[in-house]
Structure 1
Amino acid sequence: MKYSLQDLIDMEHFQQKLIAVISKSGLKRLTEIEHRKQIEKSENRYRSILKASLDGYWLTDTKGKLLEVNDAYCRMSGYSEKELLSMYISDFEIIETPELVAQHMKKVALKGSDRFESKHRRKDGTVFDVEVSLQFRPEEGGQCVCFLRDITDRKSLQDRLESLWSLAQMTEAGPKVLFNLVLEKTQELTGSRYSFFGFINDAEDQLEVNAWSKEAMNQCRVQDQPIHFPIAKAGLWSQAVLERKPLFWNDYNLDHSRKKGLPDGHVPIKNFLSVPILRNEKVIALAAVANKDSDYTSQDVSQVQAFVSNILLLIEKRIADEALQKSDERLKLALDSVSDAVWDWRVHTGEVYFSSRWYTMLGYEAYQLPQNFETWRSLLHPDDLPESEATVFRHLKYAEPFEIEYRMRTKENQWRWILARGKAVERNDQGKAVRMLGTHMDITERKQSEMAQYPCQHPSNWYFNKYQR
């Protein structure tokens, strides 16, 4: 077939157009392929980052099935990646039931994101606390990107602080209440079922149990339950006292040289932790917990040690306070029986203890007026106040002898002469007096006798003539 020149020109134009179209199409295809490669490269980079992340990572569908997980969550949970990819959130979620998980996923889809705390169960059955951050994405029917952080240590610290705070609120509680608090909190902090607490005697050869957990007492069928246990004859728990350090046994059935066995009727023991409490290198108490669902760890040891050590300080303070209160009561009875009045001044606070005689000497009912420094000042005669105060403060500053006579107003608005003596008995590290003790003696009759005998030598005599009639 012959073609004219025009035909050849037209054909050449067509070929050029065809090549252009093919080239453009091919370039577009090549661009799409390159773009896809870049996306895949970017996704692989992000997946590598997620794999190496210290936080756990999931990708789930809206039903809670795991589509992707990273190595961090595998380590947290104890499951392999293959095992996790066949599981649903509800398989290891503890707080939320499967129904609640489904409702939660729907809320996240509507809200777009969420952040909360929960608890997950590991493959070995132990539990750990997690902080979960969720982000919903509508792709492929809806998916959730989840990041999970193990916050077990943080929660343990928080629980410990809350326990210590509860202690701070119980400074007025008696020892029995505090003993029971030891049991309650040590069980709670360690997840144990049973517990006991007791003191070790000075010779460190005997334990007196001061409190048992309620469940242990309810289930124990041992006849004539003892409360005193000789350390030398005691079982495995006493090893911690002898070695003077915390010990735990996670399989009680294993043989041990100090194991004595359990008496008939004793609650069964699976595992237990025994923590001695030392003060000045002496074992003074022992706290023990038993039958935790999982193994005891060093973290349980630190929890029990910290809590019991702090509560013992409260117990010791409370016992000392009770002893001091009884001593003060005996002292007050003794002071109230003497003829002279007694005062005890806390200089830095202005508080003053006045004995009952201090009040009755001036015609008041016992403890009728406020017990403070201002009460003393308000009752002094105006002419005697400046010198009396100056004498007090010279004694506080320079330790000069404090003995002075002054007039004090009675309830009937009369004046009584008082001989005051005192001494600073406590000073702080800077040498400043912080406590002063003293007495009041009523010397009115003596002063009246002196004034009657030497009236001109007593310029204050006219006060007596005015107010004592």
Structure 2
Amino acid sequence: MEARKNRTTDTFRGTNPVLAKIIAQSVDLEGKFHHVNGTWADAFGYTTTDLSHLTVFDVLDPLSRSAYEEVLQDLLHGGEGGLVELQYVTRDRQRFVAEVNITPLFNGEGVLMGTCELLAMTLYIDGELQRGSTKEVPEYPARVFEAQSAYQGSMLQALEDPHSPMNMFLDSIHDLVFYKDLEGVYRGCNKHFAQLLKLPKEKILGRTDYELYPKEVADFFVTRDRMIQEDLLPRRNEEWVTQEDGTRSYIETMKTPYRGPDGELLGYLGISRDITERKIAEEKLVDNEKWLNIYFSQSLNAKYFMMLDEPQVWDDAVDKEALLERIFQNMRMTRVNQAMLNQYGMTEEMMLRSTPLDVFKGNPHKSREIWRELLDQGHAHAITKELKASGEEIFVDADYMCLYDEEGRIIGAFGTQRDITRETVTEAKMREREKYLRTIIETTQDGFFVVDGDRNIIDVNESYCRMSGYSKEELLGMRFSDLDGQWPAKELRMKIMDIIVKGSEIFESRHVRKDGTLLDVEISATWLGDKEHTLVCFCRDITERKQLESYFLIEKEQFKNTLHAAADGLISTDREGKIIIMNQIAEELTGVSYEDALNKPLEDVLPVVDETTGQRMASPALAAMASGKTLEFSKNHRLLVKGGEPIYIECSVAPIKGTQEEITGAVVVFKDVTQRREEMRNIEFLSFHDPLTGLYNRRYMEETFERLREEKSLPLTVMVIDVNGLKLTNDAFGHSKGDSLLKNVARICKEVSRTDDIICRTGGDEFVLILPNTDRAQAKALKDRIVTKAGKTEYDIMFISLAIGFSVMTSLEQNIQEIYEEADTSMYKNKVKYGKIMRRRTIDLLLKKLNAKYDESESHNRIVAEYAEGLARARNLSKKDVEDIMTAALMHDIGKVMIPSEILMKADRLTPGEMKEIRKHPETGYQILKGVDDFSALSELILCHHERWDGKGYPRGLKGTEIPLGARIIAVADAFETMTGDRSYRMKKTVDEAVEELQRMRGTQFDPDMVDLFIAKVLKR
């Protein structure tokens, strides 16, 4: 580069002094010269007569013509030109290279008429001149340099004459041009330079920098001028300039030395441009990048970028399997946050430059499937197992997104991952626990069966099938009385009612096997607490135990052997309650060995605590011998295990009698029921609770109504709460938002209610509060607290609105079900009264949220509504139709409330995923409004306002008159305001430009009749 710079400077200085000057030329769209300056004639060697027959292509080297034509084509398509290096040919066939700044020239009506071109040949430019355009340029004839000759080639004389062609030419250039002599005195400038300083030219010419700028700025300019004077090289600089009125502009300036006809240095020629907006945008970009970096680095979720060495085209024309392998080899991790490093236990050095195969090693086969989906769809979501650097397994919930270049080629991928190892393990444990519980039921040696209120068997395990000799299919549907061979039908009914009253009971019975033989069983039956009177029963074969009891006195040794072979813990005591026999199961359950237990009091080895009293039980052996009866206990009794955790037990203690009926000791039979107790508690909890909120369910409510029918609960208030807008929330924002709404209502009810109050969720959007000892005033106060709390609670973008009614039961003669119905009726009246207001408030809140999220939303919607109203009136629609269309226009973008602000305000091209989000807003708006009575008729217009006349719109692809008329009107109004309205992230179009765009799209995007009517009647053009 340095060699090129020296060669250029030496050539221009040593061979042709004319080339040390700035050459200016203006060319029309056919290449004919509008005008040139005197330096141009000197440089190229042509006369006035020659110029009238020449075009710019005659002086361009053939090698440069295609480059020049590319710039012209760019200008014709709305481009701004720029800096290009071209090679020229003089009249005597000499060639030289020049760097040319080409900008468009427009006439007074803004129509492109040609180019303005400045050729610099004594300088080498490091970087580009900023592009610009001149909006108003007079047309000059090609004979301009004849008048220029009056100044005998002196640029200074030409600049000092305000009516010279040189000054007229410079004024037509949009850039800021000035000329200073070697003393730093301004000798010439164009009108745009004067406008920047907000001074007339006459107050600039003849002054120095110190008379025009603050001292520190002037010092800077003078220093740069001296540097140019010393080494005769151009200088490019950027600086803030403060005018006399205090306003500031950021200027980019290119200064070059200017020589006279004899090659002597006369001064400095400067070309400047106001780049204030660009610098402000750059500062904002830096600030945005700073906040993006903060978000990226401080996010608790893992985030990363992986980029390809070179872009890749992914479509059906390529071998996708082979390309996937290349992507795996050539994609590298380029940026990660700390959460990503922590997730995989890696350092940044280990992670960066790694490939997908290096990082995602948990399940290579599934990883390939995920990458195929990502590359096919542009995005992917997956829950997958990964490996940390240490080899530890983790589970991640991940979202991936492809990154594309402007040509739609894949350049990389962005990913965000959340470590869900704990949740996954917990969920797996829960599934394992459920499986475990069922496995226990199916594999336990105890029989298990469930009996409904009609005493039919509705569930049974394999163990009971083996005990009874029946198959499961045979047992299901049989009556409990068909199996029981001990209890008469009447006594069996009484026994079942006794169990329901007590809640649970252990009793013995005798069942009849399929082959007719009898089976001695011990049954532990528990009532689930439901109104169907369902009993869950565990059944144990105690035939051996019964035989043991029968033959206990036959022979002590035989008794010992049988005792040790039993499946339950067994302990035998003497008449003083001291242990004489203990089997291995008893040793395991108590944590005490037989040797340590021998001759010790039973209560020391079998310490049992009654949880209802908190007291340790006295010796159950002594109690049984004292009563002469068998004692049983099974509920809320815990055995304090030596060296271990307490366990719940079921225990039976019977006195041992001799041949003369004298009591000789006691035998204790006990077993661990901790696990079975936990299983029963789980079953009971699920039968009475709502799984979403954890509140009681309708079944529990109905049981509570019966339980609280007692004098001490009066006055008893039943309060019914209905969640307004649950359907609107579900339709507009999805059921996850609806679930969140219900959980918030449950939380509010719990926070404001009292300890004894009972809260139930009885249906989809209905809650019931049962309030014992609550009169009407207290109920009203509680209702007000709930309403106040709900009114102050916002979640996401919604607020909570409740319809509440209550009724008070003051006498047992009243029917509690009628009280509930009265409360429900009261609630419904409240819902009818305020529900419509709530739905309207919801819409207003959504519009308010949208306006807060998107600054231009409110003014955009208002102006669109005004245009739509005007177009509807011009269409001679009825007053109601006009009002409906105007209202729909005010809310046409309400669905954008669900779109993130960064997408709505994004100035760059939207990604496919972001565009997909944007295109959801008509359907979201439709879902929001269709359930609101006042707006349901308008929802169809909002749904269709992005449909196109040619059928290529969204969301339904309607065509022509299939699109509602109101939606076609809103589409035109929306498009026109979007083009002409102020936006912080882009430049607006002029009215003429917007009208031209509407006309261009009539019959394709827009209804042609609506476009014509809008332009003629609304815009009056």
Rg comparison, structure with higher value: 2
TMscore range, shorter length: 0.3 to 0.5
Q: TM-score, normalised by structure 1?
A: 0.36
Q: TM-score, normalised by structure 2?
A: 0.18
